Chain A
């Protein structure tokens, strides 16, 4: 995915699914996991897990890396940080404006 820019819409679309959230939470242990580990006990097929991981990969939230015959998945730390900072910037802009509004109406 190198060179591809991140869009927050990709991020939110990626997060708008319970299975994908489950996968993210699972991967937030910081370890690399195989598809079979990630499918275990989830009540979904490996194919479905793979499909969800691809969506998360598209939003730069996770990364897949081939290791021998297996694909191992982990969080994409750079993409995650970028998504976080994008949202933080918008939230910060709102806070600044609302603080100015507060000063104005409480004068």
Chain B
């Protein structure tokens, strides 16, 4: 059942693993596609601070095995100022790079959602009812999520 508590996405990149690795771990390159600034260079065992539009968040770099694997831990989802994140469990994000057909197969996994609180804020639930058929389809999609 562990596959129900993860997000996994795989993408083929027409670039060598070394090139992808640089985009993942070089501060400036990372910032350009990730969309947040990083306060210092990534290094295993280090906690770096990322900032986006004035919002800061911490990322613990767990593993850096060039050019194969990058792992970090963080608090997932949108930031919520009413939450004390220091008490919240984190999810683990891993980037796996595999050479493939002159390029790189990149797999990103985010795991540990069963422990992490994504949101506690009251949420306005939509009261639109798509009918039971729609709900059953949504459930099927939910349960089938890899």
Contact = CB atoms under 8 A, between A and B. Distances in A.
B118 interface: yes
Interface string B11-23: 1011100011001
Contacts of B76: 90
Given A9-B115, A90-B77, A98-B106, A78 B127 contact: yes
Interface stretch (A14-22, A34-42, A44-52): A14-22
Interface in B82-110: 89, 104, 106, 108, 110
A26 to B, nearest CB: 11
Contacts of A6: 119, 123
Contacts of B9: 91, 94-95, 98
A98 B108 contact: yes
A104 B127 contact: no
B135 A7 contact: no
B126 A16 contact: no
A97 interface: yes
B133 A21 contact: no
Nearest to A7: B117
B141 to A, nearest CB: 7
B139 interface: yes
Interface of B: 1-2, 4-5, 7, 9, 11, 13-15, 19-20, 23-24, 29, 32-35, 76-78, 89, 104, 106, 108, 110, 113-123, 125-127, 129-130, 132-133, 135-136, 138-143, 145
26 contacts: A5-B123, A6-B123, A7-B117, A7-B118, A9-B89, A9-B114, A9-B115, A15-B143, A17-B1, A28-B135, A28-B136, A28-B140, A29-B136, A77-B130, A78-B125, A78-B127, A81-B126, A82-B123, A90-B77, A94-B110, A98-B106, A100-B33, A100-B34, A101-B11, A102-B13, A105-B23
